[in-house]
């Protein structure tokens, strides 16, 4: 593992002229970075560590800054290896995507959304293809974003993210063609008969997949089609068309973009259980019927401390069908406020999740559902929970980052 030898600390931002007049910065707080105007002097016993161009952080035991050190000096601090593995911030990594590729995965990626792209420091990390080799538009390819009015298609926002990924040399997971949620009411409440709804759904899949033809590594063709007990969710598609809608959507996607891998994606299919069994049985049936299906998407919206112990066994079952599996929306939420112990538990959870994928040759990729707590969906839905991602709200790597890197090393 890359550990202490790779710990290069830039002290330049801590050694500004007139430093004696500054107040000291407490451990783990910001002490430097582009556009930062606060104090650059860390509290005694900690050193100012450059994490990226935009953020330097006071880290206990990292280094003692003295005026004898020139601003261009790079020091390797004497910290124990246990400190390094629990303090992701002090680890220099070749990048999660670089590690994932070396381990045989196709990508390590992140979801993103259009509004976030005006945040330059955020976009800089997102665009670093050593960290992320794949992007998923979090919202901008959904039905409400692409066909809010029947027959009128809008691709501007999706195009922005696909173009960014292309410029960065990153793959795109398309998300998502047929879903009961973020579905305009003209579809969900239109009262269409079977034949009409089939043609509406086929047209939607065809138009969107054709627009992005050749640019999408994999499509979540169907999203969240099961109830927790493994029965089909009573979406307008299921109640109007019946189970056949699944195969119709997959066939339309294949016809529109023959090179895109086609997935069915869901949450709570992480460990074994009724919903996972339903997913397995459906995909087995589709394969037997000759319906195009290439992968099972495991969203993996998980709770720290409660990650199922059956992840690997379950994903091996899926993979035994001959399809790919991918972790498509990973986050591991914590009950707030965070503590060092909770962040350590979260790091262990991330390590176990990533290791389970790495252990399965057919597990081809891991996508986190955005990379920073700054833009996580969790607090808006679970009011007491958050901090679910490997980078914190200040775009600083958390212990989870080093844990993921360890599992990929
Ligand atoms: O991240 C998305 C968030 O910005 C939206 O508000 C939300 C609305 O449904 O959808 C989020 O993404 C979801 C994804 O599309 C499907 N699986 C669950 C994700 C989290 O809600």
Q: With cut-offs at 50, 70 and 90, classify the pLDDT of residue 4.
A: very low
Using the mean position of ligand 1's atoms as its centre, give its distance from the Cα of residue 169 in Å.
Answer: 25
Contact indicator for 273, 311 with CB cutoff of 8 Å: no
**For the packed helices 311-319 and 340-358, what is the interaxial angle rounded to 10 degrees?**
30
Residue 259: what pLDDT? 98
pLDDT tens string 14-29: 223 333 357 888 765 6
Question: How many CB atoms neighbour CB 206 within 10 A?
Answer: 16
Nearest to 5 by CA among 75, 60, 70: 75
Residues 56-82 have a mean pLDDT of: 39
Q: Is 182 in the pocket of ligand 1 (CB under 6 A)?
A: yes
Query: Which of 20-34, 53-67, 392-406 shows the lowest per-residue confidence on average (mean pLDDT)?
Result: 53-67
**Alpha-helical runs (H) found in 130-243:** 143-146, 156-168, 185-188, 194-211, 236-241
Q: Is the pLDDT of residue 99 over 60?
A: yes
pLDDT tens string 343-367: 999 999 999 999 999 999 999 999 9
Using the mean position of ligand 1's atoms as its centre, give its distance from the Cα of residue 179 in Å.
Answer: 11
Q: Is the pLDDT of residue 396 over 70?
A: yes
Q: What is the pTM of this model?
A: 0.81
What percent of the chain stands above pLDDT 90?
77
pLDDT tens string 22-55: 788 876 566 777 666 788 888 887 788 766 566 6
Q: Is 224 a catalytic residue?
A: yes
Q: Is 234 a catalytic residue?
A: no
């Amino acid at each position: 593992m890359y550990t202490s030898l790779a710990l290069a600390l830039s002290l330049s931002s801590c050694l500004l002229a007139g430093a004696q007049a500054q107040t000291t910065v407490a451990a783990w707080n910001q002490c430097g970075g582009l556009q930062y105007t606060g104090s650059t002097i860390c509290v005694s016993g900690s050193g100012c560590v450059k994490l990226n161009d935009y953020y330097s952080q006071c880290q206990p035991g990292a280094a003692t800054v003295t005026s004898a050190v020139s601003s261009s000096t790079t020091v390797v601090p004497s910290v124990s290896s246990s400190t390094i593995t629990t303090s992701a911030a002090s680890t220099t990594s070749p990048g999660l995507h670089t590690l994932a590729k070396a381990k045989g995965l196709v990508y390590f990626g992140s979801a993103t959304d259009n509004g976030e792209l005006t945040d330059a420091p955020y976009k800089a990390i997102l665009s670093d293809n050593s960290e992320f080799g794949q992007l998923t538009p979090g919202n901008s390819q959904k039905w409400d974003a692409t066909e809010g009015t029947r027959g009128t298609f809008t691709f501007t926002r999706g195009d922005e993210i696909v173009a960014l990924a292309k410029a960065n040399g990153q793959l795109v997971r398309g998300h998502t063609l047929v879903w009961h949620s973020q579905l305009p009411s003209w579809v969900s409440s239109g009262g269409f008969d079977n034949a009409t709804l089939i043609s509406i759904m086929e047209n939607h899949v065809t138009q969107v997949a054709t627009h992005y033809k050749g640019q999408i590594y994999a499509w979540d063709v169907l999203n969240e089609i099961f109830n927790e007990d493994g029965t089909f969710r009573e979406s307008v598609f299921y109640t109007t068309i019946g189970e056949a809608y699944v195969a119709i959507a997959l066939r339309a996607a294949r016809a529109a973009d023959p090179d895109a891998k086609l997935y069915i994606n869901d949450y709570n299919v992480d460990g074994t259980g009724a919903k996972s069994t339903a997913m397995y049985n459906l995909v087995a049936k589709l394969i037997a019927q000759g319906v195009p299906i290439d992968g099972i998407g495991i969203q993996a919206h998980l709770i720290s401390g409660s990650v199922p112990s059956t992840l690997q066994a379950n994903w091996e079952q899926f993979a035994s069908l001959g399809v790919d599996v991918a972790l498509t929306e990973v986050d591991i939420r914590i009950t707030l406020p965070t503590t060092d112990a909770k962040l350590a538990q979260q790091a262990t959870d991330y390590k176990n999740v990533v290791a389970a994928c790495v252990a399965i040759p057919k597990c081809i990729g891991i996508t986190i559902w955005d990379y920073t707590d700054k833009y996580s969906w969790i607090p808006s839905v679970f009011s007491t929970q958050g901090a679910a991602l490997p980078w914190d709200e200040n775009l600083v790597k958390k212990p989870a980052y080093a844990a993921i890197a360890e599992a990929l090393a």
